[in-house]
Structure 1
């Protein structure tokens, strides 16, 4: 039995299907998705439907990302956030053409049931972006940090790798968890097309919404599974994703 952490999908159903196939996912595998299922490529609604069906055969954890919150607000209230609309929301709204009211309500229930973080039996933390409390996620005062914060990853990147976890110099934020798995900040921003590791933090967002691939990582063996570049799977689509 494996546990795979999956990075940001951003409406790229074709990339998701490739990763599931290339990882040879079976019903014994646990899948932990790190958020941002929608906004980007043209199959956001189809991604959600696929994940709902996948959860019927596999143990799945679906962490909520910032784009998911915007989509949830639209499904619940018809709210169209201007920032959201310009950053993939338009494509997500269009992907729901042909979906019935009942299907949209089912998707809304799916979004509403997503946790903001998950801690497994080995004290590994999974969340979309980060947190700021030195006392851990349970003491985080600003819940939006779970899906917007980038300082956790910035801190991990700049930490002198010679500093050991039991050292007084090791950041208290990181000491609470054996490992931390995040998305939100594409590794292609740092010239890397695979998941990155810094301190005890793993960043699994490899830029599928832009010019990168969709990635999954076996959290025990650290084996990595990737799709093709998602933009190559949607050659007819133009816009911000091709930048």
Structure 2
């Protein structure tokens, strides 16, 4: 059985299907989706429908991302968060144009059931963004930190990878978990289009919302596969590339 961490999707259904085909996903695989299923490309509603169907066939864990929170709020209330609208919400709203009220309710339930984090039997932590507590994620389970925080990744990038975990200088929050897997902060921000590693943290958001790809990493072997650059699959769209 493989456990595969899949990075941010941002409405790129074509790229997601391409990635899963490349991975040759099997029924016994365990897929952990790192959040941000919507906002960017034109098929956000279709991504949610696809994931709901996929979860009927394959063991999936769905983590909550910040864009998912915005979309859920809009589906429930009809109120449009201005920040969300400018960062992919406009495209997501359009994708729901022909979606029935019954299907929308199914999607609301999907969003309500998203996990703030997941810890597996090997003490590997999966969450969308990061956490700040030296006592671990449990102290922040009800806070938006878990799907907004970027300081965890920022700290990891600044650390010496050779620093011993027993050192006084090794951050206490990292000692709680064997490994940590995140999305949220595109590796393309650092001129890298593949998953990045810093100390015991792996970032699998490879910029699908912009000019990057969707990545799927086998967390046991650290091998990964990727879709094509998502924008090439949606040639008439800008996604979140507004330039």
**TMscore range, shorter length:** over 0.9
Describe how 1:98-117 pairs up with structure 2 within 5 A.
Answer: 98-117=98-117
1:192 and 2:182 equivalent?
no
**Which piece of structure 1 moves more, 134-143 or 77-86?**
134-143
Q: Which residue of 2 is the match for residue 93 of structure 1? A: 93
* Residues in 2 aligned to 1:220 and 1:239: alpha-carbon distance in whole angstroms: 32
Q: Which residue of 2 is the match for residue 6 of structure 1? A: 6
Asked if 1 retains the 8 angstrom alpha-carbon contact of 2:209 and 2:239, the reply is: no
* Residues in 2 aligned to 1:76 and 1:196: alpha-carbon distance in whole angstroms: 36
* Residues in 1 aligned to 2:114 and 2:79: alpha-carbon distance in whole angstroms: 19
- Per the normalisation by structure 2, the TM-score is 0.98
* Residues in 2 aligned to 1:102 and 1:192: alpha-carbon distance in whole angstroms: 41
**Over residues 168-195 of structure 1, what are the superposed CA-to-partner deviations in whole Å (9 max), with x where a residue is unaligned?**
2111011100000000000000010000
How far off is 1:95 after superposition? 0.2
Describe how 1:188-227 pairs up with structure 2 within 5 A.
Answer: 188-227=188-227
How far off is 1:30 after superposition? 0.4
Task: Please give the root-mean-square deviation of Cα atoms over the aligned residues, in Å.
Answer: 1.1
Describe how 1:67-146 pairs up with structure 2 within 5 A.
Answer: 67-140=67-140, 143-146=143-146
Q: Any gaps of 5 or more consecutive residues in structure 1? A: none
The list of structure 1 runs, each at least 4 consecutive aligned residues, that deviate by more than 4 angstroms after superposition, is: none
Q: Which residue of 2 is the match for residue 51 of structure 1? A: 51
* Residues in 1 aligned to 2:121 and 2:187: alpha-carbon distance in whole angstroms: 27
* Residues in 1 aligned to 2:231 and 2:93: alpha-carbon distance in whole angstroms: 19
How far off is 1:98 after superposition? 0.9
Asked if 2 retains the 8 angstrom alpha-carbon contact of 1:211 and 1:242, the reply is: no
Q: Any gaps of 5 or more consecutive residues in structure 2? A: none
How far off is 1:141 after superposition? 7.3
How far off is 1:239 after superposition? 5.7
Number of equivalent positions: 243
* Residues in 2 aligned to 1:139 and 1:56: alpha-carbon distance in whole angstroms: 32
Asked if 2 retains the 8 angstrom alpha-carbon contact of 1:231 and 1:241, the reply is: no
How far off is 1:142 after superposition? 6.4
- Per the normalisation by structure 1, the TM-score is 0.98
* Residues in 2 aligned to 1:161 and 1:239: alpha-carbon distance in whole angstroms: 35
Asked if 2 retains the 8 angstrom alpha-carbon contact of 1:9 and 1:38, the reply is: yes
